[in-house]
Amino acid sequence: MLSPNLSKALNKQIEHEGFSSQFYLAMASWAETQGLNGVAAFLFHHADEERMHMLKLIKFVNERGGHGVVPALKQPPTTFKSVKAVFEEILKHEINVTNTINQLVDQTLKEKDYTTHNFLQWYVSEQIEEEALARQIVDKLKLIGDDKGGLYFFDRDLETLAGQVEAKESGGKEGK
Ligand code: FEO
């Protein structure tokens, strides 16, 4: 059974993951209007992943005797300065999410709730991957700079990457 405090904290995380999904969706939609179809495909897919992160938490809270509450929609930014600015925002955002997950893990240890602690390990690993990917992409964009040709190939690469991730997941990746 979840303590009221942990239940509240997990619901806060549900809100963060829900906002992440909206945020990625806003960036995806912006990218599509800029003709960056690969970047858009990657971000649309990521918006779905964030929704899944939220869903997983809702189900866990309910299973443990709490109530996973669906959060209100908050409007994310609608326009972005550049593709590089988008991925810099993503990196900053994911670092913040990692911090919120770490705080949750800390709380489970203080409360000796080892079931929730174990559940959160999936999010800990996921954050390592997400931060690393965002960093890698920001580095690539720094190399490209203002080179339009470079951006064209970058967009194509992200389209391929989005396709690969989707294929891997539809190949039966459990627990995602
Ligand atoms: Fe669900 Fe990108 O953190």
Q: What is the 3-state secondary structure (H, E, C) of 4-68?
A: HHHHHHHHHHHHHHHHHHHHHHHHHHHHHHCCCHHHHHHHHHHHHHHHHHHHHHHHHHHHCCCCC
Q: What pLDDT score does 175 carry?
A: 46
With a CB cutoff of 8 Å and minimum separation 6, the contacts of 41 are 28, 158, 159, 162, 163
Our CA angle for 157, 160, 161, nearest 5°, is 85
**Is this prediction's pTM over 0.85?**
yes
**For position 172, what pLDDT does the model report?**
58
Interval between CA 1 and ligand 1 midpoint (Å): 25
Give the CATH superfamily of 4-169. Answer: Ferritin, core subunit, four-helix bundle (1.20.1260.10)
Q: DSSP class of residue 81?
A: S
Helices 4-33 and 37-63: crossing angle in degrees, nearest 10, is: 170
In this structure, the residues whose C-beta lies within 6 A of any atom of ligand 1 are: 17, 20, 50, 53, 94, 97, 130
Tens-level pLDDT at each residue, the chain (176 residues): 999 999 999 999 999 999 999 999 999 999 999 999 999 999 999 999 999 999 999 999 999 999 999 999 999 999 999 999 999 999 999 999 999 999 999 999 999 999 999 999 999 999 999 999 999 999 999 999 989 999 999 999 999 988 888 888 887 554 44
Task: Return d(Cα 38, Cα 162) in angstroms, integer.
Answer: 8
For ligand 1, atom 2, name the residue with the nearest CA: 94
Kindly give the distance from the C-alpha atom of residue 18 to the centroid of ligand 1, in angstroms, as a whole number.
9
* CA–centroid distance, residue 88 to ligand 1 (Å): 15
- What count of other Cβ atoms lies within 10 Å of the Cβ of residue 65? 9
* CB of 39 closer than 8 Å to CB of 80: no
Residue spans of the domains in the chain: they are: 4-169
Confidence at residue 168, expressed as pLDDT on a 0 to 100 scale: 81
